[in-house]
Structure 1
């Protein structure tokens, strides 16, 4: 059985909008807000880059950005072209795993130049310094055991780690990334027919939502009931959800069944509404709720612009379900442009993202000086608007 882990801090050096972003604190539930181009997505994209590299290779992770060149922050540096990402994972007992990877651009491709993992516990010395670094091969695992220059050793921790001294194991770390999900849901992709079996290395749901039929197919009866209950909390007329197979039984889509007034003896009839007829917001909610109802569930769920396509009541309901999930162990990070949304969020869970002089900063709303001198009666959304106007 694996030990659940949570991200508690992330640092980025020369990655996209961030030149030097150090120890951004993260809790179970996190909302990032800022103006367009401030760098809200940069943090999520760094985490997704690690996730994709674990599943495939570092160059595949760079491909969605047209290669490594466009990932490197353009601010002047005497260092070789590249970037560094650092994460800290923690278990409930305080044991931690600090991971660092340094990626360099060489002949237009990405190469792993440094990779370190330190595992420790409170009030105890760090137990292991693992993996490798080109600068001092003796500090880590012999690179000859893992010769592929475009693969992270993070993908093979089970065979590289010695017997664990603390509660965190290599399996715990790889499981965290394998169960992470990053969403930029697209209405069109959410309505398409798709294979009903998820590829083995794929996340529970791809970022645009095209594999939603396969996700719903994986739910057992209890999971589908939970999905339906979450949908009914927003749209009470829905009575069922079904997977609809096409001409090829290996592919299909989904439909929601709704009670509508019907001229007949019963006065009502249940109709199946196919995915392509559902509203954009209903499709997005179905995807998010299906993830939360999955028996494995995401370890980390990141959603870009969570309010897109949702009416104000739906936004509040979705946030409540996401907060409930965070209390059950699903770590949640969402971005938003909506000050109104902040009024349902604790100050400690909100981070303001700013960009000035070519660099991005993250500040908790409760720590912002302008927020601290605000009238206590001013709600979080109002505080954020006042900060924008100053």
Structure 2
């Protein structure tokens, strides 16, 4: 998957912004409070709305105030989200647009449209068009239609006006375009990793993917060791090269049915349990597990990966993110680290600037001075520290 375009209106600090030609690795910088986390919340909001409903997604994001808290302050109108992306490089471009309002103290989906565009020219075709719980959806396979008049449309009514049509119809195989989008959104991974949750010994269970907070790290390590030994060995090799003295990592099941994550230092006979290992070791292991998932997520969002990690490791980590993206996924990363930024490319970097309460998104390659300096060989982290990103420094 590759997200090419994102437009937000009335979504928290983003009163009206758009990001065009988004790269596979998108790196966000900006002062605290400019909206880097909020941008990731957009993806989490869509995933939660897909899994549950819009009301639940708004409550998780805005608490008891829900819609009123999520909509940009002192603004009227709907919350609007528009995405344009491709599942593969050769597949049609997909446009998904969602508008949410509040009526009688309840959220309502006032507009939900899914469009596919064949080729690089011409008008896109509507495969789904819903408003307030009713609308039409196309039952054709996307690849089997050559002319718009051949589309077979079917009217449908959803159970509630706060349910996404892509959720309500994704359970029916006769709406393949909707099913494809629904599966894509459900598999987005917005990381909220907590080292404290990765340390305890979980009860034995099956886990193939790292959870958003990392509480199943030991279970995923065990799965990789048993089912994907080559992946496990690659992770251990990279981890050992970055953590001095580390010789072995294993997940061991106790008689009580708990899974212990153990780390072997080559200088000692007895291994250390996860609760006695450094934060940086746990975090680097979690990132390697996430980035070497045998069935990778189409989209990753990771905040400030530099925390707890030694600065010299950040360039290698940035390349791990790039490799993941080049294998077909896409990665959004926020950072405050010049060392991490030094390992990025000009076309990767966006910076967020807040003015009068609302955030604008700028792109490094569009700034003549930054672009010229980068062309001359200057590293982006150094340029950022020198104050060449206008508005990025909170001190002005």
TM range, smaller chain: 0.7 to 0.9
Q: What aligned pairs does 1:188-337 form with structure 2 within 5 A after superposition?
A: 188-197=196-205, 204-219=209-224, 220=227, 221-235=229-243, 237-246=245-254, 248-249=256-257, 251-261=258-268, 269=269, 271-337=270-336
Matches within 5 A, 1:1-390: 5-65=1-61, 66=63, 67-77=66-76, 79=77, 82-90=78-86, 91-122=88-119, 123-134=121-132, 137=135, 144-158=156-170, 169-197=177-205, 204-219=209-224, 220=227, 221-235=229-243, 237-246=245-254, 248-249=256-257, 251-261=258-268, 269=269, 271-372=270-371, 374=373, 376-385=376-385, 386-387=387-388, 388=392
Paired residue secondary structure (1:288): helix
1: CA distance, partners of 2:124 / 2:264:
55
Give the deviation of 1:157 after TM superposition.
4.8
Partner deviation per Cα, 1:238-268 (whole Å, 9 max, x = no partner): 333222335642x43422223115xxxxxxx
Work out the CA distance in 2 between the residues paired with 1:108 and 1:191. Answer: 42
Answer whether contact 1:97 1:119 (CA < 8 A) is retained.
yes
Retained in 2: the 8 A contact 1:13–1:84? Answer: yes
Going from structure 1 to structure 2, the CA distance change for 1:281 and 1:143 (only over 3 Å counts) comes to farther
SS in 2 for 1:352: strand
Q: 1:57 to 1:137 in 2, by over 3 A?
A: closer
TM-score, structure 1 length as denominator?
0.84
Cα deviation digits, residues 192-236 of structure 1 (max 9, x gap): 23344368xxx9333322222333233222232122123123125
Gap runs ≥5 in structure 2? 139-152
Question: Residues 253, 30 of structure 1: CA spacing in aligned structure 2 closer, same or farther, 3 A cutoff?
Answer: farther
Q: Which moved more, 1:24-33 or 1:364-373?
A: 364-373
Quick one: distance in 2 between partners of 1:279 and 1:42? 29
Shift of 1:368: 1.9
Whether the 8 Å CA contact 2:188–2:299 is kept in 1: the answer is yes
Distance in 2, matches of 1:354 and 1:259, equals 48
Tell me the distance in 2 between the aligned counterparts of 1:14 and 1:209. Answer: 32
Change (3 A) 1:30 1:86: same
Whether the 8 Å CA contact 2:47–2:188 is kept in 1: the answer is yes
Instruction: Identify the residue that residue 265 of structure 1 maps to in structure 2.
Output: none
* 1:247-295 Cα distance to aligned partner (Å, 9 max, x none): 642x43422223115xxxxxxx3x3221111111111111111122221
Alignment correspondent of 2:145: none
The alignment yields a C-alpha RMSD, in angstroms, of 2.8
Give the secondary-structure state (helix, strand or coil) at the position aligned to 2:313. helix
Segments of structure 1 that go 5 or more residues without pairing to the other structure are 262-268
CA contact (8 A) 1:224 1:241 kept: no
Tell me how far 1:374 sits from its aligned partner.
3.8
| Cα distance in 2 between the residues matched to 1:213 and 1:186 | 14
Q: Secondary structure at the match of 1:64?
A: helix
1:161 Cα deviation (Å)?
7.8
Cα deviation code 1:41-63 (max 9, x no counterpart) = 12111011111222222233223
* TM-score after normalising by structure 2: 0.83
1:304: Cα distance to partner? 0.7
Corresponding residue pairs, total = 367
- For 2:235 and 2:357, how far apart are their aligned partners in 1? 43
Distance in 2 separating the partners of 1:41 and 1:143? 38
Which secondary structure does the structure 1 equivalent of 2:242 belong to?
coil
| Partner SS, residue 34 of structure 2 | coil
